[in-house]
Amino acid sequence: MSNQPDRQFIPTRIAVLTVSDTRTESDDRSGDAIVNRVNDAKHVLYEKAIVKDDIYAIRARISEWIADPDVQVVITTGGTGVSGRDGTPEAVMPLLDKHLDGFGEMFRFLSYDDIGTSTLQSRTLAGVANGTYVFVLPGSPGAVKLAWEKLICHQLDYRTRPCNLVEMMPRLLEK
């Protein structure tokens, strides 16, 4: 994987959703970690929101964004564990037109170095919904950092070779 200096960076418009029953704007460390990385990478933060860990509230918010042609990427944090309240994957999966199985597989492979076998509890996933990329991340700042720095930032950089998700954006809605 390498960046090609002959290609220009193309910023994407990203919406960030924190899923939590307890977090507020003042203590949303994971959501803030994503926002900071989005801004540092020179992408455009479309909007940031927090919703309770409720499948229908999550699905409603993400549905708004994937219906908006101005949103190209949605990144969620939280609700990917195995507790009774963790429902982000169940909220998102029915919305996806295509699953990017490799994202969850790579995330768990990479997180093994940090958390060992506990990585099997992560239900991280990604996919495409109505031409919008959706990434579902765990709620820890460490997981957000890992996912962004090792996977997402490279795939949202048009200069990344041999291929990246940005160059596929114009073709996502082809029939």
Stronger pLDDT, 152 or 80, i.e. the higher one: 152
Stronger pLDDT, 6 or 64, i.e. the higher one: 64
Structure tokens at 25: 């704007």
* pLDDT computed for residue 5 by the predictor: 66
Question: Does residue 160 sit in helix, strand or coil?
Answer: strand
Is the pLDDT at 72 greater than 70? The verdict is yes
Give the separation between CA 127 and CA 101, rounded to whole angstroms. 8
* pLDDT computed for residue 144 by the predictor: 96
Where do the domains of the chain lie?
7-168
Instruction: Look at strands 98-99 and 73-77 and give their pairing.
Output: unpaired
Amino acid (one-letter) located at 3: N
Pick the CATH number of 7-168 from 3.40.718.10, 3.40.50.720, 3.40.50.2000, 3.40.980.10: 3.40.980.10
Give the separation between CA 28 and CA 49, rounded to whole angstroms. 10
- The chain-wide mean pLDDT, for the chain, equals 93
Which are the contacts of 34, defined by CB distance < 8 A and separation ≥ 6?
A: 16, 75, 77, 137, 144, 148
CB atoms within 10 A of CB 113: 9
Residue length, the chain?
A: 175
Average pLDDT of 79-88? 86
Question: Does residue 175 sit in helix, strand or coil?
Answer: coil
Distances (CA, A) of 33 to 28, 38, 76, 136: 9, 9, 12, 14
Residue 119, phi then psi, degrees to nearest 5: -60, -25
Displacement of CA 86 from its chain's centroid (Å) = 16
